[in-house]
Amino acid sequence: METKIVRIEKPADLNLILGQAHFIKTVEDLYEAIVQTVPGMKFGIGFCESSGPALVRYAGNDPALIGLAQRNALALGTGHAFIIFLEGGFPINILNTIKNVPEVCRIFCATANPVEVIVAETAQGRGILGVIDGAKSQGIETDADITARKDLLRRFGYKL
């Protein structure tokens, strides 16, 4: 087995969801789940098919985000992995809906941070071992940090 690091290529402030599912209809079901939950959200989905022709299947409503999802899914090349890039909302707006799609097995991360994916490759194929989501913790938050965190959540409208 060989391990590799695949860096997700994306603009710095763009959110993504990286997960694993189990069936070719996943790409269509993810599309439907997103548009039914946040109709105005722009997104692109890339899904790594892991049998038959083993293609990157894709869907979305924004050509640039679809292209980004296609390129990153192909770079990953990991069985049944999916990646969603989104604008006009945050992962928190659709994450529970995505988790409730029947064929979704797990979510590796949902973030706007830089992401590195730890991939294992064998003679059979590739799989995701885990992710590096953002930077290493630098310390414990101070009272000023707590105030800033709470202000940010209220500015986004997540708290009153």
The enclosing domain of 75 has a CATH number of 3.40.1520.10
Inform me whether the pLDDT recorded for 157 exceeds 90: no
Per the structure, the count of domains in the chain is 1
Using DSSP, state whether 108 is helix, strand or coil.
strand
Q: What is the pLDDT of residue 160?
A: 82
Q: Let me know if residue 82 belongs to a domain.
A: yes
Give yes or no for a contact between 153 and 145, defined as CB atoms under 8 angstroms apart: no
pLDDT in tens, 97-155: 999 999 999 999 999 999 999 999 999 999 999 999 999 999 999 999 999 999 998 99
Mean pLDDT of 71-100: 96
Q: Let me know if residue 114 belongs to a domain.
A: yes
Query: How far, in Å, CA of 124 to CA of 144, rounded?
Result: 51
Q: Let me know if residue 14 belongs to a domain.
A: yes
Q: pTM for the whole thing? A: 0.93
Q: What is the pLDDT of residue 159?
A: 83
Q: What is the pLDDT of residue 158?
A: 82
Two tokens, residue 16: 């993504």
Instruction: Provide the domain limits for residue 108.
Output: 2-155
Q: Let me know if residue 160 belongs to a domain.
A: no
pLDDT in tens, 7-63: 999 999 999 999 999 988 999 999 999 999 999 999 999 999 999 999 999 999 999
153 Cβ partners below 8 Å, 6+ apart?
Answer: 159
Q: Let me know if residue 34 belongs to a domain.
A: yes
